[in-house]
């Protein structure tokens, strides 16, 4: 049976690299000061993270790669002994929790407007209106945010039968109507947007600093 945990239990664990502290009195003084600081992560946050990571493992969440990325960033900050501000570590863990959580948010106003403009374009060509699919929308929304965050512009790996079109523009002029016009002006994108066989749609819209632009908008539309 393992010994009960105590705050000083770490002293009994094997370690590879041990710094030398020539002044024991100063070391003890620093440790006393550290005890007065709040923890890097609170117990409830750890429990929430464990529960939500279990949901990821069960396939109930999106953004699996990003969850691992945020956790690696937080752990590397600690393992490298970079002594980051505690808010930095907590922010990385908080991002992992947020990404691990099953996405239930309703589409944003820009995402709804993008659906409307696409359906307007399809209606003008005698095509059926597409129904918004929440799961498809969650994936599109997450991808638009990922593209902005990573300064990227590329398609996701999607299952067979799913189509995707993406577009971007600066915040001063790019809107859902402009995104649809750009797609309609491109033969390949136009064919996808006006494909008769599609039944459902999911959209994503994100904004932020992107590449050399202080503010850019990213549009993603997925069809099935």
Q: Which pLDDT tens digit goes with each residue over 188-224?
A: 999 999 999 999 999 999 999 999 999 999 999 999 9
**The pLDDT value given to residue 122:** 97
Q: How far apart are CA 143 and CA 137, in angstroms?
A: 10
> What is the pTM (predicted TM-score) of this model?
0.56
**The pLDDT value given to residue 46:** 74
Across 184-191, average pLDDT: 96
Lowest mean pLDDT among 21-25, 36-40, 91-95, 183-187: 91-95
Q: How far apart are CA 138 and CA 107, in angstroms?
A: 8
Residue 116 has pLDDT above 50, yes or no: yes
> Please, which pLDDT band fits residue 109 given cuts at 50, 70 and 90?
very high
Q: How far apart are CA 199 and CA 31, in angstroms?
A: 62
How do strand 200-210 and strand 213-223 relate by DSSP bridges?
A: antiparallel
DSSP string of 10-39? GGGS--S-----S-HHHHHHHHHHHHTSPP
**The pLDDT value given to residue 65:** 53
Across 1-26, average pLDDT: 79
Residue 117 has pLDDT above 70, yes or no: yes
What is the rounded average pLDDT for all residues in the chain? 82
Name which of 72, 62, 74, 133 is nearest 98 in CA terms.
Answer: 62
**The pLDDT value given to residue 30:** 86
Across 73-78, average pLDDT: 60
């Amino acid at each position: 049976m393992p010994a009960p945990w105590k705050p000083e239990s770490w002293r009994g664990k094997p370690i590879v690299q041990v710094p030398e502290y020539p002044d024991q009195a100063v070391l003890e003084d620093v440790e006393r000061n550290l005890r007065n600081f709040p923890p890097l992560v609170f117990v409830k946050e750890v429990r929430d993270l464990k529960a939500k990571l279990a949901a990821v493992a069960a396939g109930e969440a999106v953004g699996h790669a990003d969850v691992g990325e945020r956790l690696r960033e937080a752990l590397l900050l600690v393992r490298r002994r970079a002594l980051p501000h505690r808010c930095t570590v907590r922010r990385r863990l908080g991002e992992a929790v947020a990404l691990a959580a099953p996405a239930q948010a309703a589409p944003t106003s820009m995402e709804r407007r993008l659906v409307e403009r696409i359906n307007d374009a399809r209606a003008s060509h005698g095509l059926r209106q597409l129904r918004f699919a929440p799961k498809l929308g969650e994936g599109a929304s997450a991808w638009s945010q990922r593209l902005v965050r990573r300064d990227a512009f590329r398609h996701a790996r999607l299952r067979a039968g799913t189509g995707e079109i993406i577009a971007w523009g600066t915040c001063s002029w790019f809107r859902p109507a402009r995104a649809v016009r750009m797609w309609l002006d491109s033969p390949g994108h136009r064919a996808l947007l006006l494909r008769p066989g599609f039944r459902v749609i999911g959209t994503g819209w994100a904004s932020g600093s992107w590449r050399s632009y202080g503010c850019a908008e990213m549009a993603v539309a997925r069809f099935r």
